[in-house]
Structure 1
Amino acid sequence: MATNVLELERVTKTYGTRPPVHALRGVSFTVRSGELVAIVGPSGSGKSTLLHILGTLDRPSSGTVRIDGQDVAALSDRRLAEIRARSIGFVFQQFFLTERTTVLENVADGLPYGGAAPAERRERAAEALGRVGLRDRAGSRPSELSGGQRQRVAIARALVGRPAIVLADEPTGNLDSGTGASIIELLRELNAGGATILVITHDGDLAARFPRRLHVLDGRIVDDSAARPLEGV
């Protein structure tokens, strides 16, 4: 049975400018293990703030955030860092790969530091590269790869720690349409293999390809496709 890996209850975020900016206004939703979700909305809708809250990079002004069953709102910065390392994988529009190290080393650097032996770290990094179709490029430098391959390395790095959730922020934003489509197809394949993935995007056409869509506008969830009645019911 699928479990809840992410729960938000009446989450708000207000920035203390004058007048105050209400970036999130009572956001509530739940993501279950194995879901593939697009969070879509225009610039200024609150997507970036929501990403920071989901990734424990920022704290809500009010409300409850649970990740993998743990209420994270009142935890110390150190405990939040531990949760990020253990439970959340990040993929960004920029690849953020280290050019002076190999692809394998870049992916291994995504593992939480928990005392794993170097051989185990390399083995898990090779396994993650295999999941994104790049095991044969493990010894390459990022500069030797195409943009699509570099994004696949970034995805492997997010997956290597076997997190409860992968958050992808505009993962196709720096890619041409054909390469971007291949990255979306990869995310769908990884989801079919059990990964829980949330993709933040402003692209409605891209979001339409996902089985669940959360539409954000003016700091609120204005539509959740999971909440719609099934056709014919």
Structure 2
Amino acid sequence: MKSEWVLELEGVNKVYGGQPPVSALRDVSFSVRRGELVAIVGPSGSGKSTLLHILGTLELPSSGVVRIGGVNVSRLSDPELSWLRAREIGFIFQQFFLAEHATVRENVADGLLYAGVPAAERYRRADEALERVGLAERANFRPTTLSGGQRQRVAIARALVGRPSIVLADEPTGNLDSATGASIMALLRELNATGATIVMITHDGTLGGGLPRQIRVLDGQVVSDTGQGHTVMATPTVGACMPGESQ
């Protein structure tokens, strides 16, 4: 039986070396249940980019515990960590990162390359994912022939094709006009309604405020969390974030 929690952070800190050292995350703790739709909201320099890297296991915390599907990621070897990332986490970025020489189907199927899935199964599941995002008829098109909104839908299909426990969406509407961005948000809601667990990272308080749960970060700390039916507030500690962090 799968755990109720797909993501758990306990007392997570991230410190970057230097003179003096820089604390990018400070005692961050929260959990995400299976099937939640969550916004992590904060201004530029708040620690969102560092938090995204920690959530996606692209970086490990300096201290504290991160669990994905109940697995403590700090205890994994590099190959085990890569396998976990390939199997359990889907990524959506504001830059689409699609291979222009490949078809839409090939781009989506490539999301399974590192999961050890045979080619025929990769393409079958790519077609299923494209159906979910409403692009089945564009499977053989090249990304250069698609609109920005369609390309983002391809990127979403690629994130979903591995049937991950959690999808991390980093400013997924950042490169889109407002109408197209609204359609992408509607799609994320639809996917969540069918069971996808989605955590969206955004600087847009209005956009994040429209989701069922908002976790707000400032100066590397969680300052409020509307999870579990009530808002939890914390008093931020004055301090710098990682220099040059843009999100």
Distance apart, 1:119 and its partner CA: 2.1
- Corresponding position: 1:110 with 2:111: yes
- Corresponding position: 1:47 with 2:48: yes
- Which residue pairs with 2:156 in the alignment? 155
Distance apart, 1:117 and its partner CA: 3.2
Distance apart, 1:203 and its partner CA: 0.2
Deviates more, 1:69-78 or 1:92-101: 69-78
CA distance in 2, matches of 1:115, 1:200: 29
CA distance in 2, matches of 1:177, 1:229: 30
Per-residue CA deviation, residues 51-96 of structure 1 (Å, 9 max, x unaligned), is: 0000000010000000011000132221111111000000011000
* Matched AA of 1:27: V
CA distance in 2, matches of 1:112, 1:208: 35
Distance apart, 1:125 and its partner CA: 0.2
Normalising by structure 1, we get a TM-score of 0.95
Q: What secondary structure is seen at the aligned counterpart in 1 of 2:151?
A: helix
Q: What secondary structure is seen at the aligned counterpart in 2 of 1:73?
A: helix
Are 1:11 and 1:27, in contact at CA under 8 Å, matched by a contact in 2?
yes
Are 2:96 and 2:151, in contact at CA under 8 Å, matched by a contact in 1?
yes
Normalising by structure 2, we get a TM-score of 0.90
- Which residue pairs with 2:245 in the alignment? none
CA distance in 2, matches of 1:227, 1:3: 14
* Matched AA of 1:68: G
Give the fraction of aligned pairs with identical amino acids, expressed as a percent: 69
CA distance in 2, matches of 1:229, 1:209: 16
Aligned 1:49-64 pairs, distance under 5 A: 49-64=50-65
- Which residue pairs with 1:178 in the alignment? 179
| Cα distance change on mapping 1:176 and 1:13 into 2, 3 Å | same
Are 2:3 and 2:69, in contact at CA under 8 Å, matched by a contact in 1?
no
Are 1:51 and 1:200, in contact at CA under 8 Å, matched by a contact in 2?
yes
Distance apart, 1:228 and its partner CA: 5.3
**Equivalent pairs, count:** 230
Aligned 1:221-232 pairs, distance under 5 A: 221-227=222-228, 229=230
Aligned 1:27-38 pairs, distance under 5 A: 27-38=28-39
- Which residue pairs with 1:101 in the alignment? 102
- Which residue pairs with 1:87 in the alignment? 88
- Which residue pairs with 1:21 in the alignment? 22
CA distance in 1, matches of 2:170, 2:143: 20
Distance apart, 1:49 and its partner CA: 0.3
Structure 2: gaps spanning 5 or more residues: 232-247
RMSD between superposed Cα atoms in Å: 1.4
CA distance in 2, matches of 1:105, 1:153: 10
Are 2:133 and 2:156, in contact at CA under 8 Å, matched by a contact in 1?
yes
CA distance in 1, matches of 2:142, 2:95: 16
CA distance in 2, matches of 1:174, 1:134: 19
Structure 1: gaps spanning 5 or more residues: none
CA distance in 1, matches of 2:221, 2:116: 42
CA distance in 2, matches of 1:19, 1:29: 28
Q: What secondary structure is seen at the aligned counterpart in 1 of 2:112?
A: coil
- Corresponding position: 1:216 with 2:217: yes
- Which residue pairs with 1:66 in the alignment? 67
- Corresponding position: 1:4 with 2:5: yes
* Matched AA of 2:80: R
Distance apart, 1:115 and its partner CA: 4.6
Structure 1 segments of 4+ aligned residues over 6 angstroms from their partners: none
- Corresponding position: 1:207 with 2:211: no
